[in-house]
Structure 1
């Protein structure tokens, strides 16, 4: 039980910084100067209201803290939700997101449990809090990834 609570708290901390404005962006080194786009397709959105806060991380620090880049998109009445991060140099990137259902621009909890939907790239089931390496994808061409929204 302690492990489950610790996992949930850690997940909350991972995504709680997404609503903060993103000012400092640390560059990911480019090996050849080329830049690429990362298209994020969000699926399994059951509640069709609010906004999605999507954070792009380029290292562990931007995965657990302030995002390298972020997007806020409206949840549409139907279908998958898509956003594109452009001009990204070659490197590793990870996505973390949450759905703000009540417009307060933060991840809400009911006690220790997240009360709003969330998700991470490369993670469809939680077996503990994910880290940057678990969630990261290698970007060396234009890519599209799918991120599943999870609810507790």
Structure 2
């Protein structure tokens, strides 16, 4: 055999050996692991849920009077029926109360707030159910003959720190309360 051809065969075998050797070592190692004790278990997967906060700033209150009640809704099915979260805050002399909802998952929410002027923990209503106390919805959704739909008041909350503002209004006159 000519010397050049033998060198090519030798080089080819060396390259094949370098390619096959790591694969063989890996197979041997895997065979050893497969024969190991059954006590070796992969760690369980843990679902990580990202949450954030929502700060709600209320405009249009009368300073130093009553309590603002804030209701948070997470779906159209619960909207204005069953609150997913509630908060209340006394109106201070600055007249701009705020509440913070913590540990909220990212998603669509709607917020309704009202100024409970007489402290009875209810939104007082007059003739035909028209609210007598200042009321506001997220997205500044305004009622027209009935309460706005969830879709009108809904906003996206991230898994970070978000803030929305709600303007309270006397619905009979449409003017912001406190003005």
Q: How does 1:10-49 map to 2 (within 5 A)?
A: 33-46=49-62, 48-49=64-65
Which has the higher mean CA deviation after the structures are superposed, 56-65 or 43-52?
Answer: 43-52
Structure number with greater Rg is 2
Match of 1:138 among 146, 151, 156: 156
CA–CA separation in structure 2 for the residues paired with 1:136 and 1:93? 5
Secondary structure of the residue aligned to 1:122 is: helix
**For the aligned residues, what is the CA RMSD?**
1.9
Q: Is structure 2 residue 90 aligned with structure 1 residue 71?
A: no
TM-score w.r.t. length of structure 2: 0.63
In the TM superposition, residue 58 of structure 1 has moved relative to its aligned partner by 0.3
Is the strand fraction higher in 1 or 2? Answer: 1
Is the helix fraction higher in 1 or 2? Answer: 2
CA distance change for structure 1 residues 59 and 124 in 2, over 3 Å: closer, same or farther? closer
In the TM superposition, residue 78 of structure 1 has moved relative to its aligned partner by 2.0
In the TM superposition, residue 44 of structure 1 has moved relative to its aligned partner by 1.3
* 1:60-93, Cα deviation, whole Å (9 max, x unpaired): 1221211000001111122311110000011111
Q: Is structure 2 residue 138 aligned with structure 1 residue 121?
A: yes
CA distance change for structure 1 residues 126 and 48 in 2, over 3 Å: closer, same or farther? farther
TM-score w.r.t. length of structure 1: 0.73
Q: Is the 8 A contact 1:52 1:75 kept in 2?
A: yes
Bigger relative contact order, structure 1 or 2 (CA pairs below 8 A, ≥6 apart): 1
Q: Is the 8 A contact 1:123 1:130 kept in 2?
A: no
CA–CA separation in structure 1 for the residues paired with 2:127 and 2:144? 20
Q: How does 1:48-63 map to 2 (within 5 A)?
A: 48-63=64-79
Q: Is the 8 A contact 1:63 1:96 kept in 2?
A: no
Q: Is the 8 A contact 1:53 1:98 kept in 2?
A: yes
Unaligned runs of 5+ in 1: 1-30
